[in-house]
Amino acid sequence: MENHEYFTKLKSLCSSYSVLFVDDNLHYHNEVIKFLNILFKNTFIANDGVEGLKLYKKEKIDLILTGLNMPNMNGHDMIREIKKISPDIEVLILSSHRDSMTLLSCIHLGISDFISKPADINKMIIIFLKVLSNMKRKSEVCRQIKLKDEKNEEILSFLYENSMSIDIINYYKGLVFRSAAYIKEVNEESIKLKVNHLQLLACKNEKLAVLDSSLIGENISCSLISSNEEEYEILLKKETFFYPKLKNYSDLILETNQDVKAYFKINKKIFCKINKISKKEISFSFDESNCDIKKHDEMELYLFLDNEENDNYQKVHSIVYKITKENNICKIILLLKKDKNIEEYIEKYLSKREVSLLKEFKNEFLV
């Protein structure tokens, strides 16, 4: 009686869902239709892809069972159109041996499974059970995410009602500005904060900010709507919640100044522009026509960082981590091999660069 148990389980899973059955030979599938009517809350029937698509747009449908070869619009085209509306919709194909090529193309669209014709009810039970269990698992995950979002919103309200602070983070060419902010107003879309003056300037410059509270696991990425320097207030639009990478001082990555020079050798010296630098990685760019470099290649970069005691290029051993090409420019990120001397060399540059960047920032934005 195993199938009976599966059927009972399947019935309980299906009871809150609606299904769309599409086939041009419905009179051959009376058993299937009866089967669907018993299981599902609602069963919608269509004769071809056009009708199927129309019904899908009109009704709230959770699962689709469809044939492939149909007049007016075949199963493949109907699935493609429906997937444009709902990319995650579960689709089962009812296919015959002749449909194998079309079936293959449907797999690329993202179908859940297929059932061979003529449909065997016992096999259908197993397949439906698999698909419906998956649907239930997905909807539980979505529910948890929604609950977490609601919880995060509640925490923001909690912070506001109890006059507790939230950390606000901004960046200027790699410099990190971080301080406490107090919530003045919060709603679904936006959040108004009282911040210190330096943070307000940093936020005005970046037009973004990240909010971080120890009560929330994720950080909130926000965009700046407006600022009021007289009142030390900023109004932010909440964009996304995200899990931040762990950051500490050794991860400081700064934009470089013009005095930094570098080259590497492939047959000849190729000079490049250093974009960003940290003790662990260097990002640089150069003319794409010279790019004969692959990911994971070992590379020796000759680096000049304008440290007073040393006016020679320093050889930096590294591995190519990432390559991107855009508008005839090749951009590469290198991961540096551990070398105490190079680390110290770069650290000295970073500490001076931090000072000059902060001076630059304050000169530009402070009275």
Partner 1 sequence: MLIKNNILSLPLLDKRIKKIITLKINKEYDTKKLLEIINADSSLRVRLLFLANKSFFSFPNYIQSSSKALSLYGMNFTSSICIIELILNTIKFDLRAYSFSYEKYLYLFDFTYKIINEFIDEKDIDLKEKLLIPMFLYDIGKFIFSKIVYEQKEEKVFKDKFIECKNVLNFEKSYFSYSSYEVSAYILKYWNFDKEIEDIIYYVSNPSLAKDNKKLIYLLDIIQSLTNLSMPYSHHSINEALIKTRLYGFDWKKLEKIIKSNKNNIRILHGKS
Residue closer to partner 1, measured from CB, 171 or 313: 171
Nearer to partner 1, 22 or 169 (CB): 169
Residues that bind partner 1 (CB under 8 A): 165, 175-180, 182, 194-199, 229-232, 248-249, 344, 347-348, 350-352, 354-355, 357-358, 362-363, 366-367
Whose tokens are 């470099």? That residue is 293
Nearer to partner 1, 185 or 344 (CB): 344
What's 307's DSSP letter? B
Q: How far is the CB of 18 from partner 1 (least distance, A)?
A: 53
Of residues 64 and 195, the one with the C-beta less far from partner 1? 195
Give the C-alpha separation, 175 to 362, whole Å.
12
CA distance 71 to 23: 10
Comparison of 243 and 249: residue with beta carbon closer to partner 1: 249
Rounded to a whole number, what is the largest CA-CA distance in the chain?
A: 89
- Asked, as a colleague might, if the bond just before 118 is cis with ω within 30 of 0, I would say yes
CB closer to partner 1 out of 44 and 349: 349
**Least separation in angstroms between CB 64 and partner 1:** 52
d(CA 258, CA 273): 9
Shortest separation between residue 158's beta carbon and partner 1, angstroms: 17
Q: How far is the CB of 161 from partner 1 (least distance, A)?
A: 16
Which residues, at least 6 apart from 270, have a Cβ–Cβ distance to it below 8 Å? 263, 264, 286, 287, 290
Closer by beta carbon to partner 1, 232 or else 321: 232
Query: In the complex with partner 1, which residue's Cβ is closer, 94 or 234?
Result: 234
Minimum Å gap between C-beta 182 and partner 1 is 6
Sheet with 42-46: strands ordered across: 42-46, 18-22, 63-66, 90-95, 113-116
Rounded to whole angstroms, the Cα distance separating 222 from 183 reads: 14
Rounded-to-integer distance, Cα 53 and Cα 86, Å: 12
Burial (0-12, 13-18, 19+ Cβ within 10 Å), 276:
middle
CB of 204 to partner 1, least distance (A): 12
What's the min distance (Å) between Cβ of 159 and partner 1? Answer: 13
Picking from 280, 255, 260, the residue whose alpha carbon sits closest to that of residue 272 is 260
CB of 179 to partner 1, least distance (A): 6
204-218 burial, b at 16+ Cβ within 10 Å, e below that, comes to ebbebbbbebeebeb
Give the nearest distance from C-beta 274 to partner 1 in angstroms.
19
Nearer to partner 1, 195 or 272 (CB): 195
In the chain, beta strands by DSSP E: 18-22, 42-46, 63-66, 90-95, 113-116, 165-172, 175-186, 190-194, 208-212, 219-228, 233-242, 254-255, 261-266, 268-277, 281-287, 298-304, 314-326, 329-336
